């Protein structure tokens, strides 16, 4: 399975690139027919280049990146940490477990006005939006993983009179890590969406802010350029997430479990 994966990789890349090229050509033609509504790729690229040279794009990227990273980091710490605690405590699971499942289905966009009212629209409030977007997949995957720790291994720990902390170190955390990593991979995607929700609905800063002001000005070249940039970043992040997921379970390599 692994071999065929590495064999087909160059081809997959070539196919993806061909698709991208086709899309760009179609876009260029469409843009030439209606330049107001749909700027051409060339003009979009020029718009991006202009924002790079006047420093607005790097500053916006930094803003957005910081928001994304802080929110995601908080979601990872909170999701994995609380997930592990939840898996060991029946009381907490009974009292807050259902809340977690109920809360995860609430669209964060709907909560944006509430968060705005409660926490204002500073960095903290925006981070909260990113955190809330990303935390649930991480939390839920972690709980599922930790709760299914193999019974035999828990018995092995008991036979060796393991204390609670060594039990976490030797059994629960290593067993849960791959599950948490799949949660984090999903969390990265959600945090990305959350970052833009925060920038659109709380305070127009960063890339989201640039997008908003450009579309208010009907500057379709900038809007489209930024959109493409954002998609590329998203694709790269997803690739990174998958890499991470694999890297964290070397013992799983080749095993079917």
Partner 1 sequence: MSLHDRRKATTLTSPGRGGAAVAIDDVTMRFGDRVAASGIRVDVAPGEIVSVVGPSGCGKTTLLRAVAGLLTPSEGSVKVDGEVVDGTPEGVGMVFQHFGLFPWKTVEANVAYPLRLRGLPKEEIAARTRELIGMVGLSGFEKSYPHQLSGGMQQRTGLARALAVRPRVLLMDEPFGALDAQTAEVLRFELLRMWEEHPITMLFVTHSIDEAVLFGDRVVVLKGRPGRVHEVIDVALPHPRDRAVARSEEFAALRERVWSLVMSPDAGQAG
Which residues here bind partner 1, judged by CB under 8 A?
A: 152-153, 155-156, 158-163, 166, 170-171, 174-175, 249-252, 254-255, 257
CB of 157 to partner 1, least distance (A): 9
Give the nearer residue to partner 1 in terms of CB position, either 105 or 255: 255
In the complex, least distance from residue 77 CB atom to partner 1, rounded to whole angstroms: 22
Write 39-43 long-range contacts (CB < 8 A, 24+). 39/220, 39/221, 39/223, 39/224, 39/225, 40/221, 41/224, 43/221
Give the span between the Cα atoms of 171 and 149, in whole angstroms: 8
Please report how close the Cβ of residue 252 comes to partner 1 at its closest, in angstroms.
8
Q: CB count, 10 Å around CB of 256?
A: 5
H-helix segments, 161-204:
164-167, 173-201
CA distance 236 to 19: 17
Q: How far is the CB of 240 from partner 1 (least distance, A)?
A: 23
Cα distances (Å, whole numbers) of residue 256 to 13, 180, 253: 27, 18, 8
Give 117 or 159: the residue with its C-beta nearer to partner 1. Answer: 159
Nearer to partner 1, 4 or 165 (CB): 165
| Closest to partner 1 by CB, 11 or 151 | 151
Q: In the bound complex, what is the minimum distance in angstroms from residue 2's beta carbon to partner 1?
A: 14
Closer residue to partner 1, CB minimum distance, 180 or 197 = 180
Distance between terminal CA atoms of the chain?
A: 15
Q: Closer to partner 1 by CB, 3 or 33: give it.
A: 3
Least gap, CB of 173 to partner 1 (angstroms):
10
Give the CA-trace dihedral at 244, 249, 255, 257, to 10 degrees: -100
Residue 248 burial by CB count (10 A; 0-12/13-18/19+): exposed, middle or buried? middle
């Amino acid at each position: 399975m692994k071999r065929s994966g590495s064999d087909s990789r160059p081809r997959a890349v070539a196919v993806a690139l061909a698709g991208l090229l086709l899309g760009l050509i179609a876009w260029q033609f469409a843009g030439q027919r209606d330049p107001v509504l749909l700027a051409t790729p060339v003009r979009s690229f020029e718009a991006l280049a202009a924002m790079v040279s006047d420093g607005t794009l790097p500053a916006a990227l930094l803003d957005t990146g910081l928001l994304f990273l802080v929110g995601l980091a908080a979601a990872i710490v909170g999701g994995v940490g609380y997930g592990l605690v939840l898996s060991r405590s029946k009381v907490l699971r009974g009292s807050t477990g259902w809340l977690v499942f109920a809360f995860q289905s609430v669209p964060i966009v709907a909560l944006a006005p509430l968060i705005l009212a409660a926490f204002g629209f500073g960095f903290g409030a925006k981070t909260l939006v990113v955190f809330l977007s990303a935390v649930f997949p991480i939390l839920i995957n972690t709980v599922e993983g930790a709760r299914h720790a193999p019974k035999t291994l828990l018995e092995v720990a008991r036979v060796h009179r393991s204390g609670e902390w060594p039990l976490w170190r030797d059994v629960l955390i290593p067993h849960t890590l791959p599950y948490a990593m799949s949660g984090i991979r999903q969390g990265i995607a959600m945090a990305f969406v959350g970052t833009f929700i925060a920038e659109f609905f709380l305070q127009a800063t960063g890339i989201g802010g640039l997008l908003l002001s450009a579309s208010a000005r009907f500057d379709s070249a900038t809007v489209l350029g930024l959109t493409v940039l954002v998609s590329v970043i998203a694709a790269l992040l997803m690739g990174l997430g998958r890499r991470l997921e694999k890297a964290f379970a070397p013992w799983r390599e080749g095993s079917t479990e």
